[in-house]
A and B are shown apart, each in its own frame.
Chain A
């Protein structure tokens, strides 16, 4: 067989393996991405009220001058604030589990359960747990407060409250001191922490920790390093690739998150305080059927994720090379 014929045969064999997957990839991923880039510049509306036409940058102009878009962007970023705590928690648990502790598998199983079961059923459960009148969370808080001597003190109203720890104003950009407190956003972040601390990131750290060379830590110990110094100067730099991966994935997932929580628990409220960009896109596209406008928001979200990932790469690679 000539080498040309052989190469052609190899290509045909490879294509036959690749084809089913590649067709699906073209039809359901690559094609739609290209399509969205076009749709964002049209007035496409599934109800067909107006005839389809190009509107240029109209959707983007509307979007950037729409206060709601900026408010929902702030909400989306607000939810990312849980990420450093989730990562620190996962790392702490992984460090505890990596000390050849007995019962590792039991702890790992119990701690991982919240992230296995995430989804509608668990969100409905948390909605009840947060109920301000009879939910067990406020029951605990109120019992504790009355034990401290604050009789009849009330817990936060959680998912019903627009208050937040940054005193962000409601339905406008800016601050409002009366909004300081615990509200729907904190409730969703706390639920997220519950689901994330013992989850996949913890497993990643646990695996990375077992790969840190023992000799490095022993050498540092001999030099008289304290446990903290040892962790800070030996272990933490060795974990840099894992941390980098977790942070990048956290941003990618976090920026497009918040849909399920909003749809199941709050309806995006109260007063839009838990509406993220993802939920906004869903509403624009599938309850108002403004597909062109929703495509434009989706593209902005994509650009945002792209930019953040690039920044992560630039910054992260510097860290990694040290």
Chain B
């Protein structure tokens, strides 16, 4: 009986590993195909053999020759970095006010924040766009960054995080004569660092890949971000599938690196975002 159980357990483990490997292979196959195709000569793109017979790394150089890909990179990273900095700053300050300070009406205001998280972004996009037109911020870095510098979700997530920090900490600091800003900066922020990093990663990735807002805001070539640039590339040179794939590879490499490096924060962040307040 016991031996049978052990045997059954082993068979189950084996079946689980096989299933997971098949699923992992399915997840990765499109990426393999993309990388291999990015090294093919154009004539082999339509060949059923996924491997190039000659390797053409110069496809990657061609991307930069055909479009200002470096500019797209810079714009995406520049905008995403600014949005990330501002979101983390404004969200952590607001989260501090919502979680560790006592003031009348606090929970009502917080509930208002929560309620707006259900409103589709499309409801706010049209007025925001016309506001940008009025302020002459259409087609400018400011217009791409400022509306994305505030996040109800980020505030919610960091509030959850700060709630879990023991209240005795700021009380004892207050007794020692620390001012609220010192408590925020020297005690709460360092303790909330995993939450801040998590929010930073999510915000960076979201803005790096954002399509809708740049699509309606960007008119000039110099402001194109990677997603906009990729769409332009596809419309102009989409027949050169090998070069398009080289551009796609370069587009997603930073995301993969960021994910692999910051993986533990991902797991944590997804958990935090889901805890009900």
**Residues of A that sit less than 8 Å from B by CB:** 7, 10-11, 13-15, 17-18, 20-22, 24-25, 27-33, 35-36, 39, 46, 93, 96-97, 99, 101, 103, 105, 107, 109-114, 116-122, 124-126, 128-129, 133-134, 136, 139, 143, 194, 197-198, 200, 203-204, 207, 242, 245, 252, 255-256, 259-260, 263-264, 278, 281-282, 285-286, 291, 294-295, 298-299, 301-302, 305-306, 309
Task: Tell me whether B97 and A121 are in contact (CB under 8 A).
Answer: no
Report B96-110 residues with CB < 8 Å from chain A CB: 96-98, 101-104, 106, 109
Of the candidates A17, A32, A105, A301, which one forms a contact with B124 in the assembled complex, judged by CB atoms under 8 Å apart? A32
Contact B116 A29 (CB under 8 A): yes
- Do A203 and B270 have beta carbons less than 8 Å apart? yes
Interface-central residue, A20, A133, A134, A263, by most chain B CB under 10 Å: A20
Q: Which residues in B have some Cβ–Cβ distance to A below 8 Å?
A: 12-13, 16-17, 19-20, 23-24, 26-28, 30-31, 33-34, 37, 45-48, 50, 89-91, 93-94, 96-98, 101-104, 106, 109, 112-113, 116, 118-131, 133, 147, 149-150, 152, 155, 180, 184, 205, 209, 211-212, 215-216, 226-227, 230-231, 234, 241, 244-245, 247-248, 251-252, 255-256, 259-260, 263, 266-267, 270-271, 274, 276
Q: Total A-B pairs in contact (CB under 8 Å)? A: 238
B23 CB to nearest chain A CB (Å): 6
Which one of B109, B255, B270 lies within 8 Å of A117 (CB-CB)? Answer: B255
Counting chain B CB atoms within 10 Å of each CB, the highest count among A24, A97, A110, A118 belongs to A24
Question: Which of A11, A125, A264, A299 has the largest count of B CB atoms less than 10 A from its CB?
Answer: A125
List the 3 closest pairs (A to B, CB-CB), nearest first: A24-B150, A21-B94, A32-B127
If A125-B30, A128-B245 touch, does A14 touch B103 (CB 8 Å cutoff)?
yes
Q: In angstroms, how far is the closest chain B Cβ from the Cβ of A210?
A: 11
Most buried by B among A124, A245, A295: A124
Chain B interface, DSSP helix/strand/loop, else mixed: helix
CB-CB under 8 A from B125, the residues of chain A are: 32, 285
Q: How far is the CB of A200 from chain B (nearest CB, A)?
A: 5
Task: Please give, as numbers and ranges, the residues of chain A lying within 8 Å of B34 by CB-CB distance.
Answer: 125
Q: Is the CB of B155 within 8 A of A21?
A: yes
Residue of A13, A96, A121, A200 touching B270 (CB-CB under 8 A): A200
Known: A46-B130, A309-B118. A111 touches B104 (CB 8 A): no
Nearest Cβ distance between residue A19 and chain B, in whole angstroms?
8
| Nearest A-chain residue to B234, judged by Cβ | A124
Question: A24-B149, A29-B152 are contacts. A194–B27 as well, Cβ < 8 Å?
Answer: yes
Known interface pairs A24-B90, A96-B16; A121-B113 also in contact (CB < 8 Å) = no
Cβ-defined contact, A306 with B118, below 8 A: yes
Other 11 A-B pairs with CB < 8 A, given A21-B90, A119-B251: A14-B103, A17-B94, A36-B126, A110-B24, A113-B27, A114-B30, A116-B205, A194-B27, A282-B122, A298-B126, A305-B118
Q: Contacting B216 at CB < 8 Å: which of A25, A124, A200, A286? A: A286
